[in-house]
Amino acid sequence: MENTDRFLGLIKSSISTNWDKPAFSDYNGSTLLFKDFAQKIAELHIIFETIEVQKGDKIALCGRNCTNWAVTFFAAMSYGAVVTTILHDFDGESIHNIVNHCDAKVFFVGEHVWDKVDPLKIPNVKTIITIEDYAIQKSRSQALNQVCDNLSIVFKNKYPKGFSQNDLIFHQEQPEEMALINYTSGTTSKPKGVMIPYRSLWSNTKFAIESISFVKPGDGIVSMLPMAHMYGLAFEILLSVAKGCHVHFLTRLPSPQIIMSAFEKVKPTLIIAVPLIIEKIIVSKVFTELNKQPTKTLIKIPFIREKIFSKVKDKLISVFGGQVVEIVVGGAALDSEVGKFLSRIKFPYTVGYGMTECGPLISYDFWETYRATSCGKPVDRMEVKIDSTDPQNITGEIMVRGTNTMLGYYKNPEATADVLASDGWLRTGDLGVMDESQYVYIKGRSKTMILGPSGQNIYPEEIEQLLNNTHYVAESLIVEREGRLHALIFPDQDAIQASHSKESIENLLKAEITNLNKRLPKYSQIADYTIQKVEFDKTPKRSIKRFLYK
């Protein structure tokens, strides 16, 4: 019996238990059973032995989501190496800097990332292997080519009686041992290497197993979020493997058509999403239809309104595959109007809150008891407090402590000391309040808060949510210029074209801002705006890189 009080024990136990069930499929590609997954892990262990990887050595991993990404991740960790996950959207210079900074000896790189990599700029990396086909791009080991060319024979010699559950050999970890280094996308700063210990991975996975109990072995999961980001990694991958689910990787930038097609095919019971996906569906599809006549008039009649809302809910459930029990939204704040509407129609969604530094989970609540506009309650083994004289009413910085928290930032004690106190409390940089029932409500980022003319705290995110809900705005960013609030706006071209208005884009947006300002306190009204010609530069979790726009 495996020790399920350890993370790798949970994973090893699930692989053994679900041996003949499907584990991973690439979009319109092949499928690996859990026993195939286990064999591929063992094959990579042979390769690690050949190139003399030691326990604690760093193995960097950068590529798009695919079956081999997941196999490589678990193979490295179960061997006892420290995995460094790198977002594939980073530019070449950033990738070089991260690979060098984390002291990687081995680098697994995706084919499309390989075009950005210059091996001469990562001189300490001894071995480079492409993820998709495990082809060797660089090696200092003469034995490696020979082993890879004859891997099936080497494997058969090592396991002459065949490979079974009894042949699974996993690293025996310690709770405080570093498991992985995750380099954050960072909307307000340069990436930092977050050191995640095994206790954090175990605690996050254990909570998900127990709290998302409706997910069963064999259930399909659609992997939309980058695995190099902790949110997608923890709840689309770690939870799925620990539960014995079948993960379907989209393997490319997921367009709405591909996502909807995948939902229809996979019929997931759990969906992990970022707000952008949910908001676009609700604002563009649902709100637009509800504002058309005669629905706009009929919805004012209570009895008919309930029937309309029931049909909207059923339609949304079918859009997400028809069998979804819960959609968890995270990675950024969900638009409050969208959230209130989903709660009003009793749609099974909830909003979780976390950060990379907590691997990532801080708060969550099942959708049936979730309170709209909150982000749930502190999860097991985590404490949350608000740095405020009146935490229920006066906004303060959210501080957290517990099993999920990081060890610190790799080779950066100064940055670690800035956020992690000696007593274990971690400053999140987020601002919020917490009600009497321990529900957490986020008001914004402390780094983005703007001080109003009379000392008022202005949270740009709250204004942006309202502005993004206006008819002709796709995305926006509120910045301070010359002591006034300035809106950077990327227009919704589809809405503008559909309106057939003869007004210029400038006049349409000016009218929207004028109407919005009537709803805002004087100190938080928008003074001016600039039209963005192109979409805002974003992180892979679809957060705008605020630090690029001043």
Averages of pLDDT over each 10 residues, the chain, 550 residues: 85 98 94 98 98 97 96 98 91 88 97 95 97 94 92 96 95 97 61 92 97 96 91 95 97 76 95 84 83 90 93 93 95 82 94 94 96 94 96 95 97 93 95 96 81 70 89 93 92 85 88 91 89 87 80
Closest to 513 in 3D by CA, of 488, 535, 493:
488
- Pair 305, 428 in one domain: yes
- At 388 the pLDDT is 93
Cβ-Cβ contacts under 8 Å for 544 (sequence gap 6 or more): 187, 475, 477, 536, 537, 538
The reply to whether 475 falls in a domain is yes
Angle between helices 142-149 and 34-50 (to 10 degrees): 150
Share of the chain residues as helix, strand and coil, in percent rounded to the nearest 5? 40, 25, 40
- Pair 457, 439 in one domain: no
CA atoms within 13 A on the CB side of 193: 26
The reply to whether 214 falls in a domain is no
- Pair 54, 187 in one domain: yes
Partners of 491 in the β-ladder: 473
- At 189 the pLDDT is 46
Residues 279, 56 contacting (CB under 8 angstroms): no
Closest to 459 in 3D by CA, of 473, 480, 440:
480
**Neighbour order of strands in the sheet with 22-26:** 31-33, 22-26, 246-249, 220-223
Q: What is the CATH number of the domain that holds 130?
A: 3.40.50.980
- Pair 313, 342 in one domain: yes
Closest to 335 in 3D by CA, of 376, 280, 292:
280
User: In the listed set 178, 201, 224, which residue is the last one of a domain according to the structure?
Assistant: 201
Gap between the Cα atoms of 220 and 268, Å rounded: 5
How far apart, in Å, are the Cα atoms of 486 and each of 36, 128, 447, 491, 550? Answer: 55, 47, 17, 15, 10
- Pair 54, 118 in one domain: yes
The reply to whether 260 falls in a domain is no
The reply to whether 46 falls in a domain is yes
Q: At CB < 8 A and 24+ separation, what contacts does 340-344 make?
A: 340/372, 340/373, 341/282, 341/286, 341/287, 342/278, 342/282, 342/372, 343/370, 343/372, 344/309
Gap between the Cα atoms of 384 and 440, Å rounded: 9
User: In the listed set 154, 185, 201, which residue is the last one of a domain according to the structure?
Assistant: 201
Residues 81, 128 contacting (CB under 8 angstroms): no
Which residue reads 């809405």 in tokens?
Answer: 495
- Pair 343, 418 in one domain: yes
Q: What is the CATH number of the domain that holds 377?
A: 3.40.50.12780
Gap between the Cα atoms of 152 and 466, Å rounded: 59
- At 187 the pLDDT is 37
Closest to 492 in 3D by CA, of 288, 260, 332:
288
- Pair 397, 503 in one domain: no
User: In the listed set 425, 445, 465, which residue is the last one of a domain according to the structure?
Assistant: 445
- At 428 the pLDDT is 94
Residues 25, 247 contacting (CB under 8 angstroms): yes
Cβ-Cβ contacts under 8 Å for 237 (sequence gap 6 or more): 70, 73, 223, 227, 247
Q: What is the CATH number of the domain that holds 540?
A: 3.30.300.30
Q: Note if the bond before 360 is cis, omega within 30 degrees.
A: yes
- Pair 381, 495 in one domain: no
- Pair 38, 122 in one domain: yes
- Pair 124, 108 in one domain: yes
The reply to whether 261 falls in a domain is no
How far apart, in Å, are the Cα atoms of 330 and each of 274, 278, 335, 395, 464? Answer: 5, 11, 12, 21, 18
Q: Number of structural domains, the chain?
A: 3
Which residue reads 């584990």 in tokens?
Answer: 23
Amino acid of residue 389 = T
- At 182 the pLDDT is 94
- At 188 the pLDDT is 37
Cβ-Cβ contacts under 8 Å for 187 (sequence gap 6 or more): 539, 543, 544, 545, 546, 547
- Determine if residue 374 is left, alpha or beta; phi over 0 gives left, psi from -120 to 50 gives alpha, anything else beta: beta
Amino acid of residue 330 = G
- Pair 91, 175 in one domain: yes
Gap between the Cα atoms of 445 and 319, Å rounded: 33
The reply to whether 347 falls in a domain is yes
- At 191 the pLDDT is 61
Partners of 180 in the β-ladder: 83, 196
Which residue segment(s) compose the domain that 304 sits in?
270-322+325-445
- Pair 36, 107 in one domain: yes
The reply to whether 495 falls in a domain is yes
The reply to whether 226 falls in a domain is no
- Determine if residue 9 is left, alpha or beta; phi over 0 gives left, psi from -120 to 50 gives alpha, anything else beta: alpha
